[in-house]
Amino acid sequence: MLITGGTSGIGLALAEAFAARGASVAVCARSRAGLEAFRATHPDLLAVEADVTDTASQTALLDAVEQRYGRIDVLVSNAGLLIERDFTIAPPTAAELADEFALNLVAPVQLTASTLSRWPRLDAIVLVSSGYALVSPKRSPTYGAAKAGLHGFAEGLRRQLASRGTHVLEVLPPTVDTRATAHLQVSKVKPDMVAAATLDALAKKRPMALVGQTRMLPALLRLAPNAIGRMVGQT
């Protein structure tokens, strides 16, 4: 299996959880320091330096996994980044938006396409989205937009691949306790909680893994969309 962004946060928790169950795990990341730390801790797993927003790097990544393990049976697109943007103070440039959407939306879609072109019948595709896919946050409307796009992709892809038996799972965590969210004074869940919910949803063939505060979000949005939207969107 391949996990993008697998050297820290949710990705690292997923890598360790799957490895503990005997899976052959490969991870990728852009940070050399993160990769070196991962290799030191997990010498038996494959760690590849790769930029998932670059198609040539994607190809090299899939080549490396194929050379080591022969194939990919589970693809986990986890790499992403929340950038806080206030359009009333500093509207982003076209280049900034392109970079953000390339990582958070285009890359997982393109990597899915590249992986399926080699191995058309994957066991599972896991797309790590966010509760913000359902309610876009005030502090980062572009992140919410990208994750909403990933949510739509997961829904449509699930319908397309149903006849092949490929399980398409969307993981929707709330704010996760990582270095990137250390400055936020909000309720957070631990990365290993997200990993546990992901493995449970895969085992039970669920379409979505709703974690922590997001578990009731779809139902609450149906009952009181305006109130819940205002409340969640402020986080």
Q: 3.40.50.970, 3.40.50.720, 3.90.650.10, 3.60.9.10: which CATH number matches 2-233?
A: 3.40.50.720
Q: Known catalytic residue: 132? A: no
Of 74-88, 100-114, 125-139, 218-232, where does mean pLDDT reach its minimum? 218-232
Return all residues near 133 (Cβ < 8 A) that are at least 6 apart.
144, 147, 148, 150, 151, 170, 172
Which of 17, 15, 43, 44 lies closest to 29 in space, CA to CA? 15
Per the model's pLDDT, the better-predicted residue between 6 and 215 turns out to be: 6
| Domain ranges, ordered by start, for the chain | 2-233
Entry pTM: 0.93
Tokens of 77: 């697109």
Return all residues near 192 (Cβ < 8 A) that are at least 6 apart.
13, 16, 17
Q: Are 100 and 80 in contact (CB under 8 A)?
A: no
Residue in 18, 132, 143, 153 annotated catalytic = 143
Q: How confident is the model at residue 189 (pLDDT cuts 50, 70, 90)?
A: confident
Q: What 3-state DSSP class applies to 115?
A: helix
Q: How far apart are CA 120 and CA 71, in angstroms?
A: 11
For 18-68, how does the pLDDT look when each residue is reduced to its tens digit (9 = 90+)? 999 999 999 999 999 999 999 999 999 999 999 999 999 999 999 999 999
Q: What 3-state DSSP class applies to 45?
A: coil
Q: Are 208 and 170 in contact (CB under 8 A)?
A: yes
Across all residues in the chain, what is the average pLDDT?
92
| DSSP-assigned states of every residue in 149-217 | HHHHHHHHHHHHHGGGT-EEEEEE--SB-SGGGTT--S--B-HHHHHHHHHHHHHTT-SEEE-GGGGGH
Burial label for 229, CB within 10 Å (0-12, 13-18, 19+), is middle
pLDDT at 92: 97
For 96-140, how does the pLDDT look when each residue is reduced to its tens digit (9 = 90+)? 999 999 999 999 999 999 999 999 999 999 999 999 999 999 999
